[in-house]
Structure 1
Amino acid sequence: MSENITDSNISPIFYHVLGILAVIILNIFNIIHLSSNINIQSWTTNFILILLISVPVIYRIINTLDAMVGYFPAKLDDILNFIPARISGFHVIFASYILSKSDFNWKNSYQIMSRDSNNSPSHNFGFTMAPIAGSLNISLEKKGVYKIGYNDRFLKRNDIIKAVKLSKLSIYLFILVSFIILFLYFFI
Structure 2
Amino acid sequence: MDALAVFVLALLWDLLLGEPPALVHPVVWFGKLAGLIDSRYKRRSPELDFLAGMATAVLVIAFAFLLSISPFFAPYPLNYALAVYFIKSSFAIRSLHEHIARTITDDIEEKRKAVSMIVSRDVRELDEPHLNSASIESLAENLNDSVVAPLFYFLLFGLPGALVYRAVNTLDAMLGYRNERYEYFGKFSARLDDVLNFVPARLTVLLYLPLGERKIFRYYRLARFKINSDKPIAAMSAVLGVRLEKPGVYRFPGRTPENEDIKRALKVYWLVVAEWLIIVSLLLATEVCPCLSQ
TM-score (norm 1): 0.69
The CA deviation at 1:2 is: 0.8
| Runs of 4+ displaced beyond 6 Å | none
- Tell me the residue number matched to 1:24: none
Tell me how far apart the structure 2 counterparts of residues 64 and 185 of structure 1 sit (CA, whole Å). 29
1:53-92 pair list within 5 angstroms: 53-69=159-175, 70-92=186-208
Tell me how far apart the structure 2 counterparts of residues 160 and 75 of structure 1 sit (CA, whole Å). 31
Tell me how far apart the structure 2 counterparts of residues 65 and 15 of structure 1 sit (CA, whole Å). 17
| 1:164 is the counterpart of 2:280 | no
Instruction: Tell me the SS of whatever aligns to 2:286.
Output: helix
Q: Is the 8 A contact 1:6 1:128 kept in 2?
A: yes
Q: Quick one: percent identity of the two aligned structures?
A: 32
Write the deviation string for residues 49-102 of structure 1: whole angstroms up to 9, x where unpaired: xxx3222111111110112232111110110010000000111222x2xxxxxx
| 1:145 is the counterpart of 2:145 | no
RMSD: 1.6
In structure 1, list runs of 5 or more residues that go unmatched.
Answer: 20-51, 97-104
| 1:3 is the counterpart of 2:141 | yes
Task: Give the stretch that moved more between structures: 138-147 or 70-79.
Answer: 138-147
Write the deviation string for residues 146-183 of structure 1: whole angstroms up to 9, x where unpaired: 112x32x1111111111111112112211111222233
Paired residues in the alignment total 140
In structure 2, list runs of 5 or more residues that go unmatched.
Answer: 1-138, 176-185, 289-294
**Which letter maps to 2:160?**
S
| 1:128 is the counterpart of 2:235 | no
Instruction: Tell me the SS of whatever aligns to 1:124.
Output: coil
* Structure 2 residue corresponding to 1:93, chosen from 171, 196, 209: 209
